Every structure is written in structure tokens, then in C-alpha cells.
Amino acid sequence: MRTVLVTGGSRGIGAACVRAFARDGWVCAFCARHPGPEQEAVVRDTGALFVPCDVGDPAQVEALRDTLLSRFRHLDALVLNAGISLSGLCQDMSEADFDLLYRVHLKGPFLCAKAFLPAMISRKSGSIVTVSSMWGQVGGSCESAYSAFKAGLIGWTKALAKELGPSGIRVNCLSPGFIDTDMNACFGPEVLEQMRQDTPLGRLGRPEDCADAALFLCSEAASFITGQLLSVNGGLVT
Ligand code: NAP
């Protein structure tokens, strides 16, 4: 049995990942901070185990690890997807918001990896996929903190791939472009149309586009791929 944990799996890209892995026969677990109708739909559709967890809280991440390993016994793949978006001019961003972005985008992946790596290393196998952003590659105006932490996640992924390769664990990074999820619900139709026109493939990204790429990176077909950045952005950033 192949097992996967998706952080932030209740909506958007994370929920699409749970659905894609489940369709491929994986036994899935996911976390998010809040239960609700979308989370319940993912459980109903996939049979996945839902564990409420804030990835920035060490005690909650350790409790998640204990629940999951007692249920699944081992973890084959970890998709570190949980994220939030807080945008605005640099000079207007509060320290609290800056810290919050750091907490979910960098500290969260660190805490999750720290919690699950001993179990993966002891089996000498595993795959980790981090979810960065095109803004981590090229920087986004009014997204300076988000861009910084997503860029940090790319560096962290590459370093971890080198550290964990000898232990048989692959670590890769997904870099979504503009994906049609709740995270972008703040944008009106004109902005969405502009994004579509700016995208060489002529459409917005779908959560499933990212889920298929994450599934590939965790599959046997990617067994010689580690430390890589896979952009899923329709050609918006090359
Ligand atoms: P989304 O639809 O807003 O979903 C975010 C998910 O993360 C939800 O399940 C949310 O559940 C969970 N989450 C947020 N903070 C969390 C925390 N502290 N602990 C645990 N779970 C948490 O976002 P999305 O668009 O699917 O984005 C997924 C990832 O892709 C994020 O890392 C995002 O930065 C990245 N990304 C998105 C886009 C895009 O265009 N959508 C582009 C590039 C990168 P709760 O709120 O209940 O915790």
C-alpha cells in the first residue's frame, strides 16, 4: 500500500492532489486547520483520513504524525502544499502578517519534514513534493513576503534533495502559476481575463494540472528525479 499526506488538502490544489492520488490507488491523508463542507467532500469522495492540523504548530504536527503513523504504519509521500496569500505593499505589511506567511510557507514544511523524515529514512524510501509558486522564481509585485518565502522553499527543496538522496528519499518542488482556486477569488473577471491572455497556453491553471504533476513526481516514473523545480504555469514564466 502506498501512502501519502497532503497538507492543505481541504480545498484547491491540495484537494485535487488527494483526489488524484486516491484515483491512482494511494491511501491518502490530508490536513487543514478547519473542517467544513469542502473537507468533508474530499473525505467522502476519496476515503482519505482527515486530521485537523495547523502546519505551523509543532505540537499539532507531532500529533498528526502520531495519528498517521499509527494508522498507516509508514508514509511514502508528503505533499507540502498548505498555503495562504497575503498581499500588499511592503511598507504596509504588518510584522504579524510577515510572520504568518513565514510560519505557513517555510516553518510548516520544515516541521512536517522533521516529523516524518525519521520514518522515511528508516525505510530508505520516500518522496517529498513542496509547493512553491512562480512568484518564488521571479518575484511578484505586492507579494514580496510571499515571494521571499516561496523562493526560500525552492532553496530548501534543493538542499534537502542533496541531504536525503543517499537515504533514498527524493525531494522536488512544484511551482504553480495562476491556478483557479479560492486563493485567487479576490480577483475580478478583468484580471482573470488578462491572466488568461498573458498565458501562452491561453487558459488559467486548474488545480488538477498541479495534482497530476505532484502525482508524477511521487511516482516510479520519476524515480531518478530529485532536487528539481517543475513549473505548472501554462508558459507564463519560463
Ligand atoms: P487554497 O485554495 O486557499 O487552499 C489552501 C489550503 O491550505 C486549504 O486547505 C487551507 O485550509 C490550507 N491551509 C492554509 N493554512 C494552513 C495551515 N497553517 N495549516 C494547514 N493547512 C493550511 O490555496 P491553493 O490555491 O490551493 O494553494 C495551495 C498551494 O499552492 C499554496 O501553498 C499556494 O501558495 C500555492 N500556489 C497557489 C497558486 C494559485 O494560483 N492558486 C499559485 C502558486 C502557488 P484551512 O484554511 O482550513 O487551513
Instruction: Identify the pLDDT of residue 50.
Output: 98
Neighbours of 134 (CB within 10 A): 19
- Atom 11 in ligand 1: residue holding the nearest Cα: 32
Task: Take atom 33 of ligand 1 and give the residue whose Cα is closest.
Answer: 83
Tell me what pLDDT residue 228 has. Answer: 98
Distance of CA 187 to CAs 25, 112, 178, 192, Å? Answer: 36, 31, 11, 7
pLDDT at position 95, please? 98
Distance 209 CA to ligand 1 centre (A): 15
Distances in whole angstroms, Cα of residue 79 to Cα of each of 83, 89, 157, 201: 12, 30, 12, 26
pLDDT band at 205 (very low <50, low <70, confident <90, very high): very high
pLDDT of residue 135: 98
Cβ of 83 below 6 Å from ligand 1: yes
CATH architecture of the domain with residue range 3-231: 3-Layer(aba) Sandwich (3.40)
Cβ of 126 less than 6 Å from ligand 1: no
Q: Does the predicted model carry a pTM greater than 0.85?
A: yes
The confidence band for 221, taking pLDDT boundaries of 50, 70 and 90, is very high
Q: What is the pLDDT of residue 133?
A: 98
Q: Which residues contact 79 (CB under 8 A, 6 or more apart)?
A: 4, 5, 6, 7, 9, 14, 17, 128, 129, 131, 214, 218
